Amino acid sequence: MDIILEGIRKAFILLFTFDPEVLGITWFSLKVSGTATFISLFIGMSVGTVVALTQFPGRRFVVSLINTGMALPPVVVGLFVTIFLWRNGPLGFMEILYTPAAMIIAQAIIATPIVTGISLAAMQQLPKKLRLQILALGATRLQMVRILIREARLPLLAAVMAGFGGVISEVGASIMVGGNIKGYTRVLTTATVMETSRGNFDIAIALGIILLILAYMINLVLTQIQQRERPR
């Protein structure tokens, strides 16, 4: 019990004295996961919107693929990204394994299906007739898509949050393709794993608290969105 209390006490000291190492790791984590989420947003929202608004043969299959992708195990993504970026792998010439770029790629692959799936659902939950109403108001196809995205903005924000939440808390792929190099590819989760294995519970708890705060903020926003009503 003492270990935990002592750990928590030291953790708060680290947090409130703005320990440079803790701060650096946090900032780097936000940068990597933020960039990965941004990339996934671009791909996921486009694909999600197109799949939601069009009918084509094999659509069900594509939707089930996206939904499966939402539960993609990060270690599997890590494994394949590692193989592809390995020195003599297909993309080995790029020489980016164990760099932040490799982490961003892996995290973007994890986040994209999540963002796609939630965007798809967000666009589909809009009333079907809303599209007709927008067209009847004289909109072009492009104007219609813009208005639909604006109408689904809150659930789409949920997609962003879920994507970000998925990658900021992910450890498997980051450690595999990033290598947890101090000051270079070390993020909140990989650092927590390492510090715990070393018995440095104070730092591990401090990092854990930061992760919890991030998770809490994400869920706070998601809950707000869920509780909102749609107009008639």
Q: Which of 13, 65, 135, 181 binds other proteins (CB under 8 A)?
A: 135
Measure the CA–CA gap between 113 and 65, rounded to whole angstroms: 9
136 binds other proteins (CB under 8 A): yes
| CA 22 – CA 12 distance, rounded (Å) | 11
Stretch that binds other proteins, among 39-47, 145-153, 175-183, 198-206 (CB under 8 A): 145-153
Distance, CA of 122 to CA of 103 (rounded, Å)? 28
Nearer of residues 140 and 219 to other proteins, judged by Cβ? 140
CB of 114 to other proteins, least distance (A): 24
The answer to whether residue 57 forms part of the interface with other proteins (CB under 8 A) is no
Residue type, 68: T
Burial of 149 (0-12, 13-18, 19+ CB in 10 A): middle
DSSP H stretches of helix in the chain: 2-16, 20-53, 59-69, 74-85, 100-124, 128-136, 141-151, 153-168, 172-178, 188-198, 201-227
Residue 87 in contact with other proteins, rule: CB under 8 A: no
Closest CB to other proteins among 154 and 193? Answer: 154
Instruction: Find the helix packing angle between 100-124 and 59-69, rounded to 10°.
Output: 130
Least distance (Å) from other proteins to the CB of residue 61? 21
When the beta carbons of 151 and 195 are compared against other proteins, the nearer one is 151
- Contact with other proteins (CB under 8 A) among 65, 76, 83, 132: 132
Task: Please give the residue ranges that form the binding site for other proteins (CB under 8 A).
Answer: 127, 129-130, 132-133, 135-140, 143, 147, 150-151, 153-154, 228-232
